[in-house]
Amino acid sequence: MKTYTLPNGLRIILAPSATDVVYAGIAVAAGTRHELDNESGMAHFVEHMSFKGTERLSSVQILNRMESVGGDLNAYTGKEETIYYATFLRQHLKRALPLLMDIVFSSIYPQEELEKEREVVIDEIESYEDSPAELIYDDFESLLFPNHPLGRRILGDADSLRRYTSSDLHTFVKRCYSPEKAVLFIKGNIDPSLMASLLALPIKECTEQASASQSFMNIVPSRIGQINGESIAGEPVYLNKNTHQAHVMLGTRAFAFTDPRHTGLALLSNLLGGPAMNSRLSLALRERTGLVYTVESSVTTYTDTGVWAVYFGCDHDDVRRCLRLVHRELRRLIDAPLSSRALAMAKRQLKGQLGVSSDNFENVALSMAKRYLHTGRVKSLDELYADIDELTADELQSIAAEVFNPDRLTTLIYN
């Protein structure tokens, strides 16, 4: 893996690959948490509008540029970053990179395109409202991070979108889209001699610096998951969604991805409700009792905090029983350390899953970009394995006692 930095601050990371398919893109540290109070949904809207025309290309030319050679062009917005990326055969590298640079640093956000695209995003919001199993994650983070941008929905709301003009998008981009806040990432079988031309890529300069929103990136937590504002813990919060089944989420703030305890929490979460059918919650709520179809435990990490949560859907009459079973499994991890056998099995399973997922080059490239954007380094698979191997039963029990403490848990129920 090789890294470079251009004079204007743009970082470049080049990772080797054994195939002729290249995954390349630009990750920008501009997400939901960088929006000002009057900019709800702006980061996501800018992502959409970046495909609608640049100083050099029309929207149709942008769409055809990679598709016409069998490639793919895409993007997504998160709470702390927006990532634009393309997948293509390596002979089309010189076609892909200028296009990515163009849509990120030279988009013009034409008003006539904006009028059409806002309706597309509003339809996306309405579709999301009809997907309670997805929507509950956003509503849950709103409870954990009240009065903070991390608690906002990435898509924003229709009323805000209807107010935005091309000028508003330019204002956000001038503040948040600058080379020093971005990473160009490439994973592919690329001839190193091409790096000279990569380093010479032109980028439109963005001189206006981030102001108030940049301070959100500098929060240093003094305790687990601390951030401005207190989340709700104690009695469940009910939202009437008139859903056929109840959707339930419980969890709490957790560790930032720079916190060394994150690896231990990831292992515990995987043991509880990872993708394997033999996870403890799957056995308790599905295999033994038939109460749910889906139950999962997840860890979301940000630069200065994180979220651990359990989600399941069940019949309305079974909510209390399912919650009791979940709390019972959490209590097991709090009350006693894992046995040597259980610990070895949990480590082996997580390492195996990481190894299998490393074969998905697109996900590896996106994860690499996000990690390098926020921390300036990327851990190898062997380093991740070593972190897992170093975990002890006592460390895991300590993490469980802190994160799974019932007095800290927030519960949200769609009924």
pLDDT at residue 220 above 60?
Answer: no
**Claim to verify: residue 373 and residue 246 sit in the same structural domain:** yes
Q: Are 225 and 254 in contact (CB under 8 A)?
A: yes
pLDDT at 222: 29
45-54, 58-67, 190-199, 351-360: lowest mean pLDDT where?
Answer: 190-199
* Cα angle value 323/338/325 (rounded, 5°): 10
Q: Are 268 and 333 in contact (CB under 8 A)?
A: yes
Is there a domain that residue 314 lies in? yes
User: Where would I find the H helices in 228-379?
Assistant: 261-273, 280-282, 319-335, 340-357, 361-375
- Provide the residue range defining the domain that includes 386: 237-414
> In this predicted model, what pLDDT tens digit does every residue of 283-333 receive, in sequence order?
999 999 999 999 999 999 999 999 999 999 999 999 999 999 999 999 999
> In this predicted model, what pLDDT tens digit does every residue of 103-147 receive, in sequence order?
999 999 999 999 999 999 999 999 999 999 999 999 999 999 998
Residues 6+ apart with CB under 8 A from 370: 27, 78, 81, 83
Q: What pLDDT band is residue 212 in, cutting at 50, 70 and 90? A: very low
**Claim to verify: residue 172 and residue 259 sit in the same structural domain:** no
pLDDT at 237: 95
Is there a domain that residue 225 lies in? no
**Claim to verify: residue 120 and residue 171 sit in the same structural domain:** yes
Is there a domain that residue 33 lies in? yes
**Claim to verify: residue 261 and residue 333 sit in the same structural domain:** yes
State which amino acid sits at residue 287: E
Is there a domain that residue 6 lies in? yes
> In this predicted model, what pLDDT tens digit does every residue of 375-414 receive, in sequence order?
999 999 999 999 999 999 999 999 999 999 999 999 999 9
> How large is the average pLDDT for residues 8-27?
93
Residues 6+ apart with CB under 8 A from 314: 245, 246, 248, 285, 291, 292, 322
Q: Over the chain, what is the mean pLDDT?
A: 91
Q: How many domains does the chain have?
A: 2
Q: Rounded to whole angstroms, how far apart are CA atoms 120 and 116?
A: 7
Q: What pLDDT band is residue 75 in, cutting at 50, 70 and 90? A: very high
**Residue finishing a domain among 165, 191, 207:** 207
Is there a domain that residue 333 lies in? yes
**Claim to verify: residue 127 and residue 171 sit in the same structural domain:** yes
Is there a domain that residue 212 lies in? no
**Residue finishing a domain among 207, 227, 252:** 207
pLDDT at 195: 64
Q: Rounded to whole angstroms, how far apart are CA atoms 54 and 71?
A: 20
**Claim to verify: residue 160 and residue 256 sit in the same structural domain:** no
**Claim to verify: residue 151 and residue 260 sit in the same structural domain:** no
**Claim to verify: residue 63 and residue 161 sit in the same structural domain:** yes
**Claim to verify: residue 196 and residue 332 sit in the same structural domain:** no
| CATH number, residue 399 | 3.30.830.10
Helix, strand, or coil here: 170?
helix
Tell me how far CA of residue 331 lies from CA of 276, 400, 401, 403, 408, in angstroms.
Answer: 21, 9, 9, 11, 13
**Residue finishing a domain among 186, 207, 228:** 207
Q: What pLDDT band is residue 231 in, cutting at 50, 70 and 90? A: low
Is there a domain that residue 146 lies in? yes
Tell me which residue of 72, 32, 100 sits closest to 362, measured CA to CA. Answer: 72
Q: What pLDDT band is residue 335 in, cutting at 50, 70 and 90? A: very high
**Claim to verify: residue 44 and residue 167 sit in the same structural domain:** yes
**Claim to verify: residue 72 and residue 170 sit in the same structural domain:** yes
Report the run of H or E that residue 61 belongs to, with start and end: helix 59-67
**Claim to verify: residue 155 and residue 53 sit in the same structural domain:** yes
pLDDT at 32: 96
Q: What pLDDT band is residue 207 in, cutting at 50, 70 and 90? A: very low
Is there a domain that residue 352 lies in? yes
